[in-house]
Amino acid sequence: MTKKRAIDVQNLEIETLGPPKIDSPLLGSSLKGRDSEESIDWDAFFDDGHRILMDASLDSFERYKEQGAVPSSFEQAGARRKIYFDPSKVRAGILTAGGLCPGLNDVIRSLVMTLFYRYGVQNILGIRYGYQGLIPSFGHSLVQLTPSSVAEIHQFGGTILGSSRGNQSIEELVDSLERTNMNILFCIGGDGTLRGAHAIAGEIKQRNLKISVVGIPKTIDNDISMVSRSFGFETAVAKATEVIRSAHTESQGAPFGVGLVKLMGRDSGFIAATAALARGDANFVLIPEVNFDIDGPGALLVKLYERLKARGHAVIVVAEGAGQKFFLDEQVVKDASGNTLNKDIGQFLADKIKQYFQKLGQDLNLKYIDPSYIIRSAPANSSDQVFCSFLGQKAAHAAMAGKTDLLIGQWNDHFVHVPIAMAIAKRKKVDPMGELWSSVLERTGQPSLIAGK
């Protein structure tokens, strides 16, 4: 009888600085008003044995069971009964890096409130302008964060700590953590920020230091792997739907009217796809994951003309990273973090559409709208505010328990600990064969935009 091969279990274990031996202050607060320890609701606490399945489908579970393998699972995030750090000795640092995103201030506020009120941590420092704030040559001073100083910041967009891009020396960053006696570092940012956090955690481990590094994934594009939802995404979609509505109104207000909206999505089209699905006014949705042509039978310009002849107006939604194949002859430019800067597909399409209709001798009323900076600098909506509050709380719990080199994510409706190395291994993208994109095609009636098809 041939032995069945077990399914490989992905390494989802979380590193710790050492065994947690200190009773959590939250344990004492749970005892208040109770007659005995037996009356404590222990469901308020988790241990490392609480796991969340990566794939919760019945088919997947049966497959694992049949092949004698242990299903892959995440460690559940939340408060622990035993913690690693003595709160009175903790000196925590918080930084934000990369582009702006709704909810940054909300996460900062949640971290400060949880550390201060739930754990009694008194020394909480804001690191200004991302990783630059830890490099002496930039001259950015640290900021003392207290409940009073962060009390109202969730009402505003942006980040009170400022942000920056750029690759800093990992050795210098860890040197700075040592000099300032920080033993917890919270890094709020996207792919580049998390790569930096992972490298810092590696250097800390190599030096045998006791410093916890915890990431809170920030990407308005919702494109971080192993994270089902990132904060700011829902706010971005809500704002984007308003813009699409305006584009639709503009397109209806004139003969042969076209509303062209460029939304964020450098490598992944989640905002464009989700906003188009939510609003329902878009006729063409262009995202990085799905190829399209501009010229030729069956391509965008021909299909747009057919739509306008039939209905008199049209709305096109394009993600910023879509159609980059049209710029292959142009010089590649990167930002300070090493990310390739996309060429302006929105203006490119606007020019192409105008030129096409001019050749046809057909009048055209095109309105091009790029709300990117308005959306990303907006305050978080109520849904994202609640989500950010949970992220900050779970990050504080993880750090105080001595966990490191992890980020807080949400998976199968639970908050979990995700090794940073797994999250940065690849970028999450819209599946062209998946439910989201299929729903967009059904909602818009969009045909294939490949020439000749």
Residues 174-201, mean pLDDT to the nearest whole number: 96
Instruction: Determine the pLDDT at residue 55.
Output: 72
Instruction: Determine the pLDDT at residue 67.
Output: 64
Between 226 and 137, residue with greater pLDDT: 137
Contact criterion met (CB below 8 Å) for 102 and 41: no
Least confident of 170-174, 179-183, 220-224: 220-224
Q: How far apart are CA 181 and CA 273, in angstroms?
A: 45
Phi-psi region of 346 (alpha: psi -120 to 50; beta: other; left: phi over 0): alpha
SS3 230: coil
Q: Give percent helix, percent strand, percent coil of the chain, each to the nearest 5.
A: 40, 20, 40
Residue written as tokens 């030129």? 355
3-state secondary structure 24-62: CHHHHHHHCCCCCHHHCCHHHCCCCCCEEECCCCHHHHH
7-47 confidence digits (pLDDT tens): 334 568 899 999 999 999 988 765 454 444 444 454 578 88
Q: Which of 155, 141, 163 has its CA nearest to residue 109?
A: 155
Q: Categorize the per-residue pLDDT at 69 as very low, low, confident or very high, splitting at 50, 70 and 90.
A: low
Enzyme catalytic residues = 221
Single-letter residue type at 82:
K
End-to-end CA gap in the chain: 50
Q: How far apart are CA 374 and CA 246, in angstroms?
A: 15
Q: Which of 208, 167, 213, 174 has its CA nearest to residue 339?
A: 167
Residue 126 predicted with pLDDT over 90:
yes
Instruction: Determine the pLDDT at residue 166.
Output: 83
- pTM (predicted TM-score): 0.90
- Ordered by where they begin, the domains of the chain are 1-232+380-411 (3.40.50.450), 233-377+432-444 (3.40.50.460)
Residue 181 predicted with pLDDT over 50:
yes
Q: Which of 346, 323, 317, 306 has its CA nearest to residue 267?
A: 323
Tokens, residue 99: 């582009």
Least confident of 8-17, 209-218, 228-237, 277-286: 8-17
Whole-number CA gyration radius for the chain: 25
Order of strands across the sheet that contains 123-127: 51-53, 73-76, 414-419, 406-411, 212-217, 184-189, 91-96, 123-127, 143-144
Q: For 427, which DSSP code?
A: B
Residue 437 predicted with pLDDT over 60:
yes
